[in-house]
Amino acid sequence: MSRVKEFFASRTGIISVGLFIGVLAALLQKWGNPGNMGICVACFERDITGALGMHRAAVVQYLRPEILGFVLGALISAYVFKEFRPRAGSAPIVRFILGMIAMIGALVFLGCPWRALLRLGGGDGNAIFGLLGLAAGIGVGALFFKAGYNLGRTQKAYPSVGWLFPLVILGLLALRLLYPQIPDQDKSGILFYSLKGPGAMHAPLAVSLIAGLAIGMAAQRSRFCTMGAFRDLFLFRQTHLLSGLIALLVAAFVANLALGQFKPGFAGQPVAHTMQLWNFLGMAVAGLAFALAGGCPGRQLFMAGEGDGDAAVFALGMIIGAAVSHNFGLASSPQGIGPHGVAAVLISLIVLVFIGLTMRQKA
Amino acid sequence: MSEQIDARGLSCPQPVLLTMEKLKTLNQEELVVLVDTDTSRENVSRAAASLGWQVKEVQSEGEEYRITLQKS
């Protein structure tokens, strides 16, 4: 057991996990997930929001089993390795707002950091601007940290506090099993299912769920985090997490080449737009929000599986952020940014700077 | 009595930030860091190693860890 722990904490461990996620993501696309979206935490949470009818964008409604697998896989791994630590109470309302803003920014770019890497690994040049924005946003976050930004201590909590979010996830899984997709129907029981668009593209339920569980376990062990990759580089000159991120990118690129999914270019890329300023700024907003909240969307799900109630609040914030994004025209589409995307980015930036500047310990 | 940092309840990157700041200005040969997650334990150990310190001892106290760092 301790040797497994050591392996995942090592550089070889984090690189292996990056390679694993990169290859699996390319395969999930092969098995049915949308283009350059084998995995996307933001997009998939948005699809879940749609499946529950909390937004009615008909092309992005599907209860993605991968997300459920992430949380449950991390939960299983945390129990197996005795790392389940129920905790909560570090500025939950701030984390909720940060989750909302993270989702709003990610949906202006059209993807979370994982998908930004997968997009680049699939040949989508627009992702370069998103990744630059992500790095810029996290860089600003690092400056806030240097200036004393801190959300405060979390508190130990009852086990049930740590269990509530995984229980919600189990409830969603029950809904997915109870109301499976009916061919050519956009609704099954209370769940919405897309008939066209990215929401209609998905790998089989069992495949998605098992892949999600496997990634959840591996990522819980290795602490894989795309935000941490840049943050640790900027703050500490450490490249541990960054090596995992690069491994994911390289693996996705090679796997896409092998599977015939690599299509270099800027125009006409799947679920992407070419408004580069907004690709950059959308991801800068998301990156800063991730940095201030202490984890990328994937990492927040894994921490929620470990019993972190604050990470769970962030994830719920992302769900509401997705609803807001699609109900109020903030989210982009392949045609470009939404009617209120510009306002959303600017207001988000102001809120983030407010949080970054005001939540700090005086030395 | 070696100096001590209490990073319990703090999330990434605070434990590492506190440890590194302290290590850079510390005049002693030893520093004790208290953390309460395995992630923080790994991160603090890794950060100390990058500054030329080594982990002398990790004591497990319930769900907490008491990490003793030593100048190598």
Tens digit of pLDDT for each residue in B32-57? 999 999 999 999 999 999 889 999 99
Residue corresponding to tokens 């920014």: A105
pLDDT at A55: 98
- Domain segments of chain A: what residues? 2-358
Distance from CA of A47 to the nearest CA of B (A): 29
User: Which contacts (CB < 8 Å, 24+ apart) does range A15-19 have?
Assistant: A15/A243, A15/A244, A15/A247, A16/A222, A16/A247, A17/A218, A17/A219, A17/A221, A17/A222, A17/A224, A17/A244, A17/A247, A18/A224, A18/A243, A18/A244, A18/A245, A18/A246, A18/A247, A18/A248, A18/A251, A19/A247, A19/A248, A19/A250, A19/A251
Q: Which of B11, B13, B42 sits opposite A154 (nearest CB)?
A: B11
Counting the structural domains of chain B, the total is: 1
Name the residue facing A235 among B9, B13, B42 (closest C-beta): B13
Euclidean distance between CA atoms B43 and A14, whole angstroms: 13
**A299 CB contacts (<8 Å, ≥6 apart)?**
A219, A223, A224, A225, A226, A227, A228, A311
| Residue-level pLDDT at A4 | 93
* Cβ proximity of B36 and B63 under 8 Å: yes
Q: What is the pLDDT of residue A15?
A: 98
Mutation target vs B (from A236, A292, A300; most B CBs, 10 A cutoff):
A236
CB pairs under 8 A between A and B: 50
Which candidate in B8, B19, B23, B39 is best for mutational testing of the A interface (most A CBs within 10 A)?
A: B39
Full domain range(s) for residue B10: 3-71
**Residue A147: what residue type?**
A
Each residue's pLDDT, cut to its tens digit, for chain A (363 residues) gives: 789 999 999 999 999 999 999 999 999 999 999 999 999 999 999 999 999 999 999 999 999 999 999 999 999 999 999 999 999 999 999 999 999 999 999 999 999 999 999 999 999 999 999 999 999 999 999 999 999 999 999 999 999 999 999 999 999 999 999 999 999 999 999 999 999 999 999 999 999 999 999 999 999 999 999 999 999 999 999 999 999 999 999 999 999 999 999 999 999 999 999 999 999 999 999 999 999 999 999 999 999 999 999 999 999 999 999 999 999 999 999 999 999 999 999 999 999 999 999 999 765
- Residue B61: band (very low, low, confident or very high) from pLDDT cuts 50, 70, 90: confident
* pLDDT for res A362: 64
Domain with residue B47: its CATH number is 3.30.110.40
A262: DSSP letter: -
Asked if B13 and A151 come within 8 Å (Cβ–Cβ), the reply is: no
Residue A231 structure tokens: 């943050």
Cβ atoms of A248 and A18 closer than 8 Å: yes
User: CA angle, A117 as apex, A116 and A119 as ends, to 5°?
Assistant: 65
Which burial class, exposed, middle or buried, applies to A103 when counting CB atoms under 10 A from its CB (0-12, 13-18, 19+)?
buried
In this structure, what token pair is assigned to residue A274?
Answer: 């070419």
* ipTM score assigned to the predicted complex: 0.92
* Per-residue model confidence (pLDDT) at position A363: 53
pLDDT for the residue A322: 98
Residue A125: what pLDDT?
98
pLDDT at A90: 96
Identify whether the C-beta of residue A104 lies closer than 8 Å to the C-beta of residue A55.
Answer: no
The distance of A238 to chain B (nearest Cα, Å) reads 8
How many whole angstroms separate alpha carbon A35 and alpha carbon A51?
20
Please answer yes or no on whether B50 and A236 come within 8 Å at the CB atom.
Answer: yes
In this prediction the pTM is 0.97
Residues of B in contact with A90 (CB under 8 A): 9, 11
Instruction: Compute the nearest-CA separation of A298 from chain B (Å).
Output: 15
- In B37-54, which positions are buried (b, 16+ CB within 10 angstroms) versus exposed (e)? bbbbbbbbbbbbebeebe
Q: Look-up: residue for tokens 């976050």?
A: A141
Q: Which residues of A touch B20 (CB under 8 A)?
A: 236
48-67 of B, contacting A, C-beta below 8 A: 50, 63
Crossing angle between the packed helical segments A205-222 and A11-30, to the nearest 10 degrees: 160
Q: Are A226 and A25 in contact (CB under 8 A)?
A: no
Q: Say what the pLDDT of residue B1 is.
A: 67
